[in-house]
Structures are given as structure tokens and as C-alpha cells.
Copies of this chain bind each other. A is one copy, B any other.
Amino acid sequence: MEGLDKVIHQPNRLRIMAALLALDPDERAEFTFLCDLLELTDGNLGAHLQRLQDARYVMIEKKFVGRKPRTYIWPTARGRAAFEAHVEALRRIIAGASED
């Protein structure tokens, strides 16, 4: 995979990580906000987030706001580092294999 991250290479997970890394460091994304932003179904977003959580790239917290369940997501330091390494690997590849 030439330094590319298998988990993040998948286009929707790349988009999810990019969206999460665009948050302020103390901010969390709400599940339905991510669904709307990325135009993913609940099921699809949920499956990708599970995969990202398994890799310990994101944290997921469910809590009740009044009677409503809410799910919040934010990137871990490990996830941030993995995203940055993936993007750097992409840059190296795109810059031309002949320059490596």
C-alpha cells in the first residue's frame, strides 16, 4: 500500500476523517450532522465509524440530551496522525514515483 492507510484509503472514511479533522480541537461532531454533511445514510456512516473506532482513529460517545439520544464523534491523536501520514503518502505518490 506504499504508506497508504488501508482504513483511511476507503473514500467515505477519507471524507469522514477529513471532516473530523476540520473540527476545532475541543469540538465534537454530532452523528446526524455528519450524515447530512457527507450525504451518507445512518447505516453507512455507522459502519464506517465502527471501522474507524476499531482502528482507534475516532472516539464515539452516546448520551442523552433530554430524552433524545445523541451520538458524538471526534478524532483521536492516533487518527489524526494516521490521516496526516496517509495524506503525506498520497502526496509522495502523486508527486511522481520517479522522484522517490
A residues contacting B by CB (< 8 A) are 1-2, 4, 9, 11, 14-16, 18-19, 21-22, 37-38, 87, 90, 93-99
Chain copies in the assembled complex: 2
Q: With A22-B98, A22-B99, A98-B22 as known contacts, state yes or no: A93 contacts B15, CB within 8 Å.
A: yes
| Interchain residue pairs with CB less than 8 A apart (11) | A2-B11, A9-B9, A14-B93, A14-B94, A16-B97, A18-B94, A18-B95, A18-B97, A19-B98, A21-B96, A90-B94
A87–B97 touching, CB < 8 Å: no
Q: From DSSP, what is the main secondary structure of chain A's interface residues? A: helix
A96–B18 CA distance with the chains assembled, in angstroms: 5
